[in-house]
């Protein structure tokens, strides 16, 4: 298993993943997880066969219960686009 593949697998199966890391590594982690998404051929084929747009990978900082942004953590979330036919 590649280094960031486990993170992508958790995002794919649960829809989100929170990761705590040194802020100096955030850019590298974002790039690596996005690359894992594009390397996952079965994920792309699954969405192509369903003729649906692929979900967008949103990357942000989580917020604690007091409304403060947690700077040393990353929140990865899959956001599924809604088409007019789904409404």
Residue whose structure tokens are 């990761």 = 19
- Predicted confidence (pLDDT) per residue in 7-47, tens digit: 999 998 898 999 999 999 999 999 999 999 889 888 878 77
Average pLDDT of the residues in 57-70: 90
- CB atoms inside a 10 Å sphere around CB 76: 22
Q: What is the mean pLDDT of the chain?
A: 84
């Amino acid at each position: 298993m590649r280094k960031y593949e486990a993170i992508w697998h958790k995002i794919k199966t649960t829809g989100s993943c929170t990761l705590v890391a040194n802020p100096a590594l955030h850019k590298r982690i974002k790039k690596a997880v996005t690359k894992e998404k594009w390397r996952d051929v079965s994920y792309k084929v699954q969405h192509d066969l369903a003729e649906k747009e692929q979900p967008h990978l949103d990357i942000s900082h989580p917020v604690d219960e007091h409304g403060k942004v947690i700077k040393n953590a990353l929140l990865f979330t899959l956001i599924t686009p809604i088409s007019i036919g789904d409404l």
